[in-house]
Amino acid sequence: MNRGRDGRGSSGRSVVRTGALLVAFSLLLQADAAQAAVDEESQFVLNTFSFLIWGALVMWMSAGFTMLESGSVRTKNASVICLKNIGLYSVAGLAYYFIGYNLMYVDVGSWVGSATLLYGPSADELALLSGQTESQTAVIENGYATMSDWFFQMVFVATAASIVSGTLAERVRLWSFLAFTTVLTAIIYPVIGAWTWGGGWLDQMGFQDFAGSTIVHSTGGWAALAGAMVVGPRTGKFRPDGSVKPTPPSNVPFVTLGVLILWFGWLGFNGGSQLALAGAVDAVAMSNVLANTNLAAAAGVVAALCASRPLLGRVDLLAILNGAIGGLVSITAGPDIVQPYWAVIIGAIGGVLCLAGMRLLENMKLDDVVGAIPAHLFAGIWGTLAVCIAAGGNIGVQLLGVLAVGVFAFGTSWAVWLALGKTVGVRVSRSVEEVGQDTMELGIEAYPEFVVMPDPDDVEELRAGSQTSSSTE
């Protein structure tokens, strides 16, 4: 009996202990969950670090453009290409620091931001750096360090300028190109950015462009198109009979490496455009963005490989490499889509559009050395409209954005190129073009040990002239 009574008492105490353990375990889980949540200062650090590391990846795209362009041109112009790319990156950074960022983001109304000069850390950040720790709360509440955002935005504007460089290679004057780059990065691109990412009239209407298919790539493409029309094609690129003279790249491995570097840097271009890394939602969204970006590029390559022979009559390596860029540009407007198969479709169409665009430009007698206009402009327009299919964009608003950016970017670029042509000139002389910009403008050759082979067409002309003079003697 006692055992029975003792047994009932033991059972009751066991239930109480079990309940207490469950409550304690529940409280422990809640405490762990509370600790797992990212505190505000940690969010500030993660967001700032995200801007800086992704921005560094985008900056590395400048190396990709340099390799792509220097490998695409003839050896006699490779050194100037190197100078142009490091020069445009530097000019873009200074122009965006002095005025561009303010026009794009500071006190933006419907059309443009502040025309004040210079940009720098906030007053609270300066106070914190001077030892006033009471300013830390205000700094953290901003969500990220001020100049980390400036740096991330600046590397985007340099990308737009690089597009122009590739199109006009081998015949545009160095100083004229850098002058145009200054206007593009200080005014043209920031105004378009103010309309969209800066909260201006297109943003207010609901225009969607996650990482810049239109804002960055189409803007650079329109500027390149205007430049190609004003500067004209390379001498002899289009023969009198209308045929196109092949100008094979001087270094195919360089071109391939450049595209792979661009592909790598694009992960920062699109991934960083999440603009936050403060918790699980941002981490998941950023993962989707990177996966979709990679899928679109791969689809662009495969689609271009399949379409190369039907469209171009051959399996063209350079066109296939451009297919990767076309896929990347196409997905840039909406890489945050949830279903990855859409990235494959969008990227594949972008790759084929790039090939078709290259053939179209040749038929129009427009000389684009690296195929930047099809890859950035045509694919950029497609990607911006594809947002309506996969990411809920409004077709009317997206079309309006494409047209508005096109009219402004092309119109202003055309005017600047014309003004430069009427004043300092935009094209090198025929003798400089024949000998090469490296020797004539820089006095340095990229490959001094190499023997420069004569142009096949020039050889034929010399032979024909020699035969004519012999027959008349």
Residue 21 has pLDDT above 60, yes or no: no
What pLDDT does 343 receive? 97
Give 164-195 pLDDT, tens digit per residue: 999 999 999 999 999 999 999 999 999 999 99
Q: Angle at the Cα of 190 (from 281 to 140), degrees rounded to 5?
A: 40
Decide: 329 and 383 in contact? Cβ < 8 Å. yes
- How far are the Cα atoms of 20, 376, 454 from residue 25, in angstroms, in the given order? 8, 56, 82
Q: Is the model's pLDDT at 472 over the cut of 90?
A: no
- As given in the structure block, the two tokens for residue 296 are 């679109």
The answer for 244, left when phi > 0, alpha when psi is -120 to 50, beta otherwise, is beta
Confidence of residue 31 (pLDDT cuts 50, 70, 90): very low
Q: What is the mean pLDDT of residues 441-466?
A: 69
Give the pLDDT band (50/70/90) at residue 153. Answer: very high
pLDDT reported for residue 312:
82
Q: Which tens digit of pLDDT belongs to each residue from 301-320?
A: 999 999 999 888 888 899 99
Q: Are 335 and 343 in contact (CB under 8 A)?
A: yes
The string of pLDDT tens digits covering residues 62-110 is 999 999 999 999 999 999 999 999 999 999 999 999 999 999 999 998 8
Average pLDDT for 331-343? 94
Number of C-beta neighbours around residue 284 at 10 A: 10
What are the structural domain ranges in the chain? 45-438
Q: Which class for 24: exposed (0-12), middle (13-18), buried (19 or more C-beta within 10 A)?
A: exposed
Residue 470 in this model has a pLDDT that exceeds 80: no
As a whole number of angstroms, the distance between CA 169 and CA 201 comes to 35
Residue 58 has pLDDT above 70, yes or no: yes
Residue-wise pLDDT for 373-414, tens only, equals 999 999 999 999 999 988 888 999 999 999 999 999 999 999
Measured between alpha carbons, how far is 473 from 434 in angstroms, rounded to an integer? Answer: 30
Which secondary structure element, helix H or strand E, spans residue 306, and what is its range?
helix 280-312
* Model confidence band, residue 22 (pLDDT cutoffs 50, 70, 90): very low
* Homologous superfamily of domain range 45-438: Ammonium transporter AmtB like domains (1.10.3430.10)
SS3 159: helix
- The Cα-based distances of 435 to 5, 113, 132, 169, 394 in angstroms read 110, 46, 61, 15, 52
Q: What is the pLDDT of residue 457?
A: 64
- Sign of the CA dihedral running 231, 236, 242, 243: negative
Q: Which residues contact 88 (CB under 8 A, 6 or more apart)?
A: 158, 161, 162, 165, 177, 178, 181
**Alpha carbons 333 and 343: distance in angstroms, whole number:** 11
Split at pLDDT 50, 70, 90, the class of 16 is: very low
